[in-house]
Amino acid sequence: MLKQFEAHFKDLGYTEPTAIQTAVYEPLVGDQNVLGLAPTGSGKTVAFTLPALANLMPGEGTQLIVLEPSQELAIQTSRVMRDWAKLLDLKVVALTGGANVKRQTERLKKRPEVVVGTPGRVLNLVTDRKLKLHLVSLLIVDEADDLLTGDTLDTVRSIAQDMPADVQLGFFSATDTPILHELEQWFGQAVNRIDVRQEDQTQGVVRHGLLQVGMGKRDQMLKRMLAMPNFRALVFFKQANTLRQTATRFYHEHMSAASLTSDLRQVQREKALQDFRLGRTRLLLTTDVAARGLDIPKLPAVINYDLPTSVNEYVHRVGRTGRMGEPGQVISLGDDHDLRDLKKLLKDTDYDLVPLYFSGRSLTTEKPVATVAPQAKAAEKPVSVSAEVTQSKGDRQPVVVGKTTQASGAAQPQKQQPNPTKKKKHKNRHTKNKGMRKKWRDRDAQQ
């Protein structure tokens, strides 16, 4: 590690590199193609930032391209890299969809050494010859399990093909997928596989809970959770329509919540994320696309409003909490059928799914026991009354108590029982008007 990096590393409060940072540094500095697999929150961004920047030459044009799956992650990564790049007098520019293209083009004229962007915007600028890749020596594909799927795979390959044939490749991911075993086939170069997922010790203790809640009551449950002190959560939805309905309802009810979706303008997305990070809002409603890879320090909880349909989705969602040694809580909402399906989905993983219950103003793993008030208990206690009543003398009335019969000293007044067959007459305004109308007709006839 460069001396400038070592000093800044200590200034940031880091004591030692994480497993992935140690494992990939020498291979990347040594111009090797690398696939780095490490858990979420294990410092993968810094892992490729330090060795990648160490090989760049200031003032020599764009030499490093980093591709990210979302605008938020591209901006987040560019900020991290800019913090380290300024130590070497290197410039970093973010190119994301939804931002002003002319402004981005003006920034490219300053010949930044590092470009961090989303594949679609990067390819558009390359096609328009606003971004030149002939000097690029390293391509980093972050969240590779997501980017190397569907149409995005073709976009990434198109970008790589505009670079020199011997460009160095770096792929990073928290989960392993089949295409990550076929990188040589797709990119024409052998890739050194480095997997530290079993060695990494950076993740804190994360509890995984199942809270049985029907679809119609999930918004109400979120409101109840907001009553818990210091509670904040990233809430994952599957459908943007459901998210918008919940967000609109919370907005009108003045709940502390904001939404983060791909159809919002970049300024709106940045504000929603910034407000959540600073604690101004306590619930951030989002989808898998918008929140993938986000680093939110000391996030207490992740809520699965809609349950994930794959193990990879679950891994990336729950990876937003419990980062860098901090504790975390995962709360999966669903009815009995949904929660059974989630258990089947994760049966081959190490996650320990525990039932949760909401009691008072807190979540607990102990099932609440229904308590009955003393008066209600007395009322519910069955009383056995003897079927035989002894003949009373004179005007004395028998009083039945339990199984015994006692004669009272004086006659007890009997309450008049209502007659169930007699119906109470209700005055009806229609009936009254009907009588008046008859009176009026008779009067008119006399005239």
- Domain segments of the chain as ranges: 3-195, 206-364
Question: Look-up: residue for tokens 């669903």?
Answer: 334
Class for domain 206-364, per CATH? alpha beta
pLDDT digit string, tens, across residues 335-353: 999 999 999 999 999 999 9
**Residue 197 contacts residue 165 (beta carbons within 8 Å):** no
User: According to the model, what pLDDT value does residue 427 have?
Assistant: 54
- Percentage of the chain modeled with pLDDT above 90: 65
Poorest-pLDDT segment among 90-104, 266-280, 379-393: 379-393
- Tally of CB atoms within 10 A around 166: 8
Give, as one character, the DSSP assignment of residue 411: P
pLDDT digit string, tens, across residues 239-269: 989 999 999 999 999 999 999 988 888 888 8
Which carries the bigger pLDDT value, residue 29 or residue 265? 29
Query: Which residues, in sequence order, are bridge partners of residue 138?
Result: 64, 168
Residue 418 confidence (pLDDT) above 60 = no
The contacts of residue 10 (CB under 8 Å, 6+ apart) are none
What mean pLDDT, rounded, does the chain reach?
86
User: According to the model, what pLDDT value does residue 419 have?
Assistant: 59
Please report which helix (H) or strand (E) contains residue 377, including its range. helix 374-380
Poorest-pLDDT segment among 146-160, 227-241, 414-428: 414-428
User: According to the model, what pLDDT value does residue 437 have?
Assistant: 66
Judged by DSSP in three states, 252 sits in helix
Judged by DSSP in three states, 259 sits in strand
Write out the E strands in 97-254: 114-117, 138-141, 168-173, 192-195, 206-212, 233-237
What is the token pair recorded at 231?
């509670």
User: According to the model, what pLDDT value does residue 424 have?
Assistant: 54
pTM over 0.75: yes
- Amino acid occupying residue 358: F
- Tally of CB atoms within 10 A around 150: 9
Question: How far is Cα 297 from Cα 305, in angstroms, rounded to an integer?
Answer: 21
First to last CA, the chain: 116
- What CA dihedral angle connects 356, 360, 366 and 372, to 10 degrees? -130
List C-alpha distances in Å: 217 to 104, 211, 259, 337. 45, 12, 19, 16
What is the token pair recorded at 406?
């006692």
Domain 3-195 has CATH 3.40.50.300: yes
Residue 394 confidence (pLDDT) above 70 = no
User: According to the model, what pLDDT value does residue 280 have?
Assistant: 93
Residue 386 confidence (pLDDT) above 70 = no
**Residue 351 contacts residue 323 (beta carbons within 8 Å):** no
Query: Which residues, in sequence order, are bridge partners of residue 355?
Result: 210
Fold match, 3-195 / 206-364: yes
Write out the E strands in 12-131: 34-37, 64-67, 92-95, 114-117
* Averaged pLDDT, 285-307: 89
Question: Look-up: residue for tokens 């008779």?
Answer: 442
User: According to the model, what pLDDT value does residue 267 have?
Assistant: 86
What is the token pair recorded at 412?
């007890």
**Residue 296 contacts residue 277 (beta carbons within 8 Å):** yes
- Percentage of the chain modeled with pLDDT above 70: 83
User: According to the model, what pLDDT value does residue 76 have?
Assistant: 92
User: According to the model, what pLDDT value does residue 174 have?
Assistant: 92
Residue 412 confidence (pLDDT) above 90 = no
Residue 159 confidence (pLDDT) above 50 = yes
Radius of gyration of the chain (CA): 35
Residue 322 confidence (pLDDT) above 80 = yes
**Residue 33 contacts residue 192 (beta carbons within 8 Å):** yes
Question: How far is Cα 155 from Cα 378, in angstroms, rounded to an integer?
Answer: 74
List C-alpha distances in Å: 137 to 133, 163, 415, 418, 443. 9, 8, 100, 96, 108
* Averaged pLDDT, 279-308: 90
Residue 371 confidence (pLDDT) above 70 = no
User: According to the model, what pLDDT value does residue 154 have?
Assistant: 96
* Averaged pLDDT, 109-126: 96
